[in-house]
Amino acid sequence: MNISKKSGKIFWGIFFLLAAVYVIVSQLGILPKVSVFTVIFTVFCIWLLVNGIRNISFWQILFSIAIVCILYAEPLGITALTPWPVLGAAALGSIGLSMIFPKKKKRIWKHANINVGGSSTGEYNGERVECENSFGESIKYINSENFCYANLDNSFGSLTVYFDNAMIPSGKATVNVDNSFGEVSLYVPKIWKVQVRMDHSFGSVEEKGRCEGSSDISLDIIGDTDFGTVNVYYI
């Protein structure tokens, strides 16, 4: 099962568990005054932490911890370390750990690209493509003569992918999108038959323009977006 499909359930599970604890404990007067906003944001951070551990994303792990430290700086007595020192430490730690323990490229993909905290542009002409973007901006052009599948993973960044020069001899292709706290823009030919079947939690999936679907080529866009936006542009 795709890990991204579990993200929404994990988030809501944590949310309701902490909400239940908060309702009971807040009436006992044993917790410092914590606003509902802080509780909700804490749930976001825990979800990010769990998701980061599952995907071995040091950026998500350290920044979620840093944000929790900022939220509870006064009760923890670490106000001198927030906000910029702890955020700076999280950024430097994420860069260092990402360099020491880089993600291994999956062998099933013929063309893969990983962008962390920067800007990149690239072209791909393989049957299968994987692209990961975190805390950065990335633009990709799919110029394949036999495109079949793409896996796009974006978190805290902007990822734009153009499919207008892609050819699909088999007549069918699939694009899987996993988007968290970011924006993904897909540009596809309007003559293709496009089906968008994405899940979203506190996010949106929008189609821009009109899909004519006059050709025999079909494209399935699947996956999910959490606290982010996925835009499909028909060109």
* Among the listed residues 182, 185, 176, the one whose alpha carbon sits nearest the alpha carbon of residue 231: 185
Half-sphere exposure of 26 (CA within 13 A, CB side): 11
pLDDT tens-digit series, residues 220-233: 999 888 778 999 99
Contacts of 8 (CB under 8 A, 6+ apart): 199, 201, 224, 226
Average pLDDT over residues 194-210: 87
Q: How far is it, in rounded angstroms, from Cα 204 to Cα 231?
A: 8
Q: Return d(Cα 123, Cα 75) in angstroms, integer.
A: 50
d(CA 186, CA 218): 15
pLDDT band at 29 (very low <50, low <70, confident <90, very high): low
200 pLDDT band, cuts 50/70/90, is: confident
Query: What is the pTM (predicted TM-score) of this model?
Result: 0.57
User: What CA dihedral angle connects 175, 199, 205 and 167, to 10 degrees?
Assistant: 10
User: Secondary structure of 22-48 in the HEC alphabet?
Assistant: HHHHHHHCCCCCCCHHHHHHHHHHHHH
Residue 1 pLDDT grade (very low, low, confident, very high; cuts 50, 70, 90): very low
Predicted confidence (pLDDT) per residue in 88-118, tens digit = 999 899 888 877 876 554 444 444 455 454 5
**Distance, CA of 78 to CA of 89 (rounded, Å):** 14
Three-state secondary structure call for residue 74: helix
**In the chain, domain spans:** 4-100, 111-234
The three-state secondary structure class of 82 is coil
CB burial class (10 A; 0-12, 13-18, 19+) of residue 1?
Answer: exposed
